């Protein structure tokens, strides 16, 4: 009887997990399947692959500046990932390993910034970029995203797990702080950097509000902005093209996450434990 209850609970657990996985995966599946079907097939609810993928992609790239938008998104996301990881990890390392009363107060004030809505910063941020002549420039999207408050918090939580004895040993051996950070801290925190990199990439790739305000010409717009215009650019909606555009915009994020998913989980787990 006890075994029956045990297997019954386990079977119920698996059933719930299967249903949850199906509900999570199906929208993504339907999007990619919709990219292979015509608009009529999409509206009729077809859930099997079609033969219109090549036509949808051809119409998509002929009608909209998808190629330019992809290049812009890759440049912006790549720059944000590299610069934000460098800046935020160094800042978090300083906050955690060189604590003072002043630095703790500064860190607390910095964390308060997480409570400020992004929309509330749009006007002053736009005026600032206008002052520096960066409106309608990719740099106007890159610079504000470099110093991510969340990433500083995330890295600091991970650095709590790094033993101070290792750092002291390196200092006794004559290693500089920068050398210690590059050759001791960074290699031991690769999973954390991978998790932070995925977060920074997805956040920058999906960013919509600020790029929509500051990037004003098609030659500077990102893939998110271009795809959002597909639905409103014609009187008759072509859902096949829309699905193809969404698939093209989603595929890079999917590839990055699948490649680094194991490191992402390890990095998130390490940060939580810290």
CA angle 67, 73, 78 (to 5 degrees): 130
Judge whether 45 and 243 are in contact, CB under 8 Å. Answer: no
pTM of the full predicted structure? Answer: 0.85
Contacts of 57 (CB under 8 A, 6+ apart): 35, 244, 248
Four-CA torsion 137, 120, 226, 147, nearest 10 degrees: 50
Would you tell me the crossing angle of helices 239-273 and 149-159 to the nearest 10 degrees?
40
Q: Which of 160, 139, 158, 138 is nearest to 150 (CA)?
A: 158
Give the separation between CA 78 and CA 80, rounded to whole angstroms: 5
Q: Which residues contact 39 (CB under 8 A, 6 or more apart)?
A: 237, 238, 239, 240, 241
pLDDT tens for the chain, 274 residues: list them: 566 566 667 778 888 888 988 888 888 888 999 999 988 888 888 888 888 899 999 999 988 899 999 999 999 999 999 999 999 999 999 898 888 889 888 888 888 888 888 888 889 999 999 999 999 999 999 999 998 889 999 999 888 888 888 888 888 888 888 888 888 888 888 888 888 998 999 999 999 999 999 998 988 999 999 988 887 666 667 888 889 999 999 998 888 888 877 766 665 555 444 4
């Amino acid at each position: 009887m006890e075994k029956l209850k045990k297997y019954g609970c386990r079977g119920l657990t698996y059933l719930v997990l299967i249903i949850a996985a199906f509900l999570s995966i199906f929208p993504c599946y339907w999007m990619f399947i919709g990219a292979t079907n015509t608009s009529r097939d999409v509206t009729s609810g077809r859930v099997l692959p079609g033969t219109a993928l090549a036509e949808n992609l051809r119409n998509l790239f002929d009608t909209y500046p998808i190629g330019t938008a992809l290049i812009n998104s890759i440049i912006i996301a790549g720059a944000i990932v590299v610069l934000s990881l460098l800046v935020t990890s160094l800042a978090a390392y300083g906050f955690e390993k060189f604590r003072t009363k002043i630095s703790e107060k500064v860190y607390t004030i910095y964390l308060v910034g997480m409570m400020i809505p992004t929309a509330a910063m749009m006007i002053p941020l736009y005026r600032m970029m206008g002052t520096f002549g960066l409106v309608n420039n990719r740099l106007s999207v890159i610079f504000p995203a470099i110093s991510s408050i969340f990433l500083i918090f995330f890295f600091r939580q991970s650095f709590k797990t790094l033993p101070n004895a290792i750092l002291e040993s390196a200092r006794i051996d004559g290693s500089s702080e920068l050398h210690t950070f590059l050759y001791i801290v960074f290699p031991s925190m690769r999973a954390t950097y991978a998790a932070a990199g995925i977060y920074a990439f997805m956040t920058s790739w999906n960013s919509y509000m600020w790029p929509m305000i500051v990037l004003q010409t098609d030659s500077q717009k990102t893939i998110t902005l271009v795809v959002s215009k597909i639905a409103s650019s014609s009187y008759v909606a072509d859902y096949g093209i829309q699905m193809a555009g969404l698939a093209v915009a989603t595929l890079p994020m999917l590839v990055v996450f699948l490649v680094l998913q194991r490191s992402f989980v390890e990095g998130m787990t390490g940060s939580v434990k810290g």
